[in-house]
Structure 1
Amino acid sequence: MTTSAMDQSSSSPAMSFTVLASTAPVLAPRVGKLAIAGRKTIATPHHVPLTSRGTVPHVAHDVMRQHTEINSLYAGLEDFIARKQPPVYNTPAADHESPLKKFICVPEDMPLILGPRRFPPIPCPPANTSSSIALLTSTGFTQLDAHDYVQAVQKLRPDIAVGMVDLANKQPGSKRRARMVDRTHAWNRDALEQLYGPSVAEEKKAKSAYFAPILPLDNAQQSLYLDDLESEFRWDISGLALYQSASLGFVPESLADLPRLLFSEPETPHTILRDISLGADLLTTPLLGVSSDAGIAMDFVFPVPDVLQDGSAKPRPLGTDMWKSDHAVDTSSLGEGCTCYACKNYHRAYVHHLLVAKEMTAWAILQIHNFHVMDAFFAGVRESIQRGTFEQDVRMFNCVYTSAMPESTGEGPRLRGYQLPANGPNQPRRMPKAYGLLDGAAQKFAASQSEVATPDAGADELEEQGFAEKA
């Protein structure tokens, strides 16, 4: 067992990360504890719930506090800066409070992570520049200047701020990769200087911990950037933000004691286990929300219980499609043996009915259940790592469960704006015109009215005919 913590002489805020169990400094699963002064402690590995404009989709704040175990949130700045004068910047807050938390009504003791963009981000047709990145707000595309992002961190005071990174929408070429490294290096150098630099007065230094981004490139292409993180910025950064699991192998040993936030889009729990085995501490799991939107109730357990470890049985599904008519009269819970709020109070027949009726409560119930399954999954992962049986438990999990999530047979809820593809100029409309559906009925009504003869109409017609004959 190894233990590490941030140097208390660092200029970063009062945040510490302790490794409780690990077999190697890098490229190995590990259990840790992320502690921020005055905030809930996060046990790692763990997932970071994603928000839409500061709210977990389908889950109201009171439901989140009472019926889930959510203990951290991620928010993107592009959700709050649609207007020229964003109201989030005018939120009154005390010196020890975060204006962003006040604006989205999040408890002050809940760790909040802020990044420039929501995740997963919608690709933007406008290109990034040497001083800004392209965003998609609720009013259209815009550019976020690197200096403006630093000012937003200073004003909104999140617990953790993720550094701005230059990411390409498609596979970058050699010149584009060089620009990605140069821009990201310059943005983070300037941000650290403005937030924690020696020229900044002690009382004006940022209260947010800073996670430096690691580009999704190979080690040779970003070696200069990694060298600077080690030599110049080591005592100013509190963690690392990575955008592909392969980058976990490029983390140098001198930075191995920092927490690693992996912005990942796993398609199955198997992918999550692979990322954890490479040393990821915090992970984003859009899979959870995608499953709830599709009407899928997750149903998997890690480590696999002894009663399910039967090699002769066919692989078990990772979830249940609640759209299927088989559940119309099924009064069992969403998950076998599940103890979440949704399974204690509702059954499959009710959820199936709500889905068919397009009632939004259906997705709220599924979201609560899926959060419970994911929380229990990560709790089992931590216990497995501490016991030293993680590799064997992963192999058994891969044998017992199928390699893909079940496909949905129904339609999800109405898509939110950021879930739709970003159309460039001269692109067709995202949604058809609703009033166009009435064109046929309007034409039939006009035709029926024209066939009804009235005295006045008949007189006018005869008068016109007589005038034509005289002419």
Structure 2
Amino acid sequence: MSIGSLYVALEDFIERSSLKEIPPIYNTPAGQTESALRKFLSFDDGYLLFLGPRRIPPVATASSNSVNSVTILTSVGYQQLQVEQYQDAIKSLKPDIAIGLADVLDRQPGVKRREKMVDRTHAWTQSAVDILFKPADISNRLGETSFFAPILPLEKEQQTVYLRDLEEEMTDVVSGFAVWDPTTIDLIPQALWHLPRLSIGESNTPQDVLRGVSLGLDLSAIQFIGTASDAGLALDFSFPKGTPQDNDNKSSPYPLAVDMLLPAHSTDTSPLVSGCQCYTCKTYHKAYLRHLLNAKEMLAWTLLQIHNHAIMDRFFTDIRASIERGTFEGDVKTFESTYMSEFPEPSGQGPRMRGYQFKTGPGEKRNPKVFGRLDGVAERLLESQSSVVTPDAEAEELEARGFAEKMQ
């Protein structure tokens, strides 16, 4: 059975032009036991809502985290999200699952920095547990939200004290774990081994997802679905193997996706993927989707996203069936030998990139230049107008332009 869920990054909703303004998400009316986050997003109770501080993957920030805050990127620039602010957000929004704050860097930390990462994460986790789930006044206890403690992407020896406290002092509060590196799952204390584990690190291919599952992951926040949709790629794989439609050479691996911008699809009225039962494939065809992509219609990426989510739903359904059969390890090898290890290189530009979709700093511009594209139009218009004969033109001018011949 599939579990519908949504990961929500708090930094997407707390932009403020001044300190006096309250973000709209905090003004959502909700009852004592209702989730303000759910009402704000208009999601029904059938979906699990995860709340975390940053997007997945997060954009690298110009400044590092501090002792009492993490640096976030909102629509109005970088800000410091205080530990108390995040705890208040959890208490106010009441998500189904809250991800604990962690001091995680976008680069390899040094020895001293690793110590700070552990100390800060330990302190922030303990504070969240004490204030939200073990307050002195039991009436202030947050009972509708589960708490996922972070496991840092560091060696076990560096997190020994933190992991011991998770096992000895927070067992009755921690409901699961958020991990950045699947190889750190082995660090989870034995007494808490039965709890679910969520991957919020980067998963760039379905092979990465399978690797995480084999290491013990239960849930994954997968960003390549949106990346593929933006690139105009329709996912085309099944587990352990399928019959992809665009590769007749059985000796070479199949591509993981179909580039819908290729000219070959301009007159193809077949579904995006043969046999797919998603709304997009049952209602539209390749030629129409390619037309939408070329016209840069928002509907194009919406339809691709619907299809790509359907492919991933089927992918996880097949994974669960494989585990139940006891053939998962062999099926993973079959999948890896059947499909390419990377997605095909997109041939189109895709929609305009948003600021949170690429890292800051120098480098190649991700969006084409939009200002100045009409600079030459005005000059050509003036030239064309200058060649048009007007009624007040003299006879010499008419003759010079070849419009008429002057009579003597």
TM-score computed with the length of structure 1 as normaliser: 0.75
**What is the deviation of 1:414?**
1.6
Counterpart position of 1:155: 92
Counterpart position of 1:421: 359
1:410 to 326, 331, 348: 348
- Alignment map for 1:56-455 (pairs within 5 Å): 71-83=4-16, 84=19, 85-202=22-139, 204-305=141-242, 313-423=251-361, 434-437=370-373
Counterpart position of 2:391: none
Q: Are 1:299 and 1:336, in contact at CA under 8 Å, matched by a contact in 2?
A: no
**What is the deviation of 1:206?**
4.4
**Cα 1:388/1:183, change in 2 over 3 Å:** same
Q: Are 1:214 and 1:242, in contact at CA under 8 Å, matched by a contact in 2?
A: yes
Q: Residue 156 of structure 2: SS of its match in structure 1? A: coil
State the alpha-carbon separation in 2 of the partners of residues 258 and 235 from structure 1: 12
**What is the deviation of 1:404?**
1.6
1:398-417 Cα offsets, whole Å, 9 max, x none, are: 12112221111111112223
**Cα 1:430/1:295, change in 2 over 3 Å:** closer
**Cα 1:203/1:171, change in 2 over 3 Å:** closer
- Alignment map for 1:10-89 (pairs within 5 Å): 71-83=4-16, 84=19, 85-89=22-26
Aligned AA (1:74): Y
Q: Residue 395 of structure 1: SS of its match in structure 2? A: helix
1:195-244 Cα offsets, whole Å, 9 max, x none, are: 11151323543421000000010111111111111111111111100011
Aligned AA (1:350): Y
Q: Residue 220 of structure 1: SS of its match in structure 2? A: helix
Aligned AA (1:338): C
| Number of residue pairs aligned between Structure 1 and Structure 2 | 380
**What is the deviation of 1:110?**
1.8
State the alpha-carbon separation in 2 of the partners of residues 178 and 219 from structure 1: 12
Q: Are 1:154 and 1:206, in contact at CA under 8 Å, matched by a contact in 2?
A: no
**What is the deviation of 1:351?**
0.9
State the alpha-carbon separation in 2 of the partners of residues 396 and 428 from structure 1: 38
**Cα 1:384/1:148, change in 2 over 3 Å:** same
Aligned AA (1:410): G
State the alpha-carbon separation in 2 of the partners of residues 423 and 398 from structure 1: 35
Aligned AA (2:110): G
State the alpha-carbon separation in 1 of the partners of residues 2 and 115 from structure 2: 36
Aligned AA (1:104): L
Q: Residue 158 of structure 2: SS of its match in structure 1? A: coil
1:34-92 Cα offsets, whole Å, 9 max, x none, are: xxxxxxx865xxxxxxxxxxxxxxxxxxxxxxxxxxx1100011111112311211111
| Identity among equivalent pairs (%) | 47
Q: Are 2:352 and 2:367, in contact at CA under 8 Å, matched by a contact in 1?
A: no
Q: Are 1:194 and 1:200, in contact at CA under 8 Å, matched by a contact in 2?
A: no
**What is the deviation of 1:444?**
8.6
Q: Residue 205 of structure 1: SS of its match in structure 2? A: coil
Q: Are 2:238 and 2:311, in contact at CA under 8 Å, matched by a contact in 1?
A: yes
State the alpha-carbon separation in 1 of the partners of residues 348 and 243 from structure 2: 34
State the alpha-carbon separation in 1 of the partners of residues 368 and 269 from structure 2: 39
Q: Are 2:33 and 2:144, in contact at CA under 8 Å, matched by a contact in 1?
A: no
Task: Give the superposed CA RMSD.
Answer: 2.8
Aligned AA (2:295): A
**Cα 1:42/1:152, change in 2 over 3 Å:** farther
Q: Are 1:161 and 1:211, in contact at CA under 8 Å, matched by a contact in 2?
A: yes
Aligned AA (1:407): E
State the alpha-carbon separation in 1 of the partners of residues 359 and 100 from structure 2: 25
**Cα 1:397/1:171, change in 2 over 3 Å:** same
Q: Are 2:199 and 2:219, in contact at CA under 8 Å, matched by a contact in 1?
A: yes
State the alpha-carbon separation in 2 of the partners of residues 337 and 104 from structure 1: 33
**Cα 1:341/1:440, change in 2 over 3 Å:** closer
Divergent runs of 4+, >4 A: 305-308, 427-449
Counterpart position of 1:26: none
Aligned AA (1:75): V
Aligned AA (1:334): L
Q: Are 1:74 and 1:112, in contact at CA under 8 Å, matched by a contact in 2?
A: yes
Aligned AA (2:102): V
State the alpha-carbon separation in 1 of the partners of residues 231 and 193 from structure 2: 38
Counterpart position of 2:392: none
State the alpha-carbon separation in 1 of the partners of residues 196 and 23 from structure 2: 32
TM-score computed with the length of structure 2 as normaliser: 0.86
Q: Are 1:248 and 1:279, in contact at CA under 8 Å, matched by a contact in 2?
A: yes
State the alpha-carbon separation in 1 of the partners of residues 244 and 296 from structure 2: 37
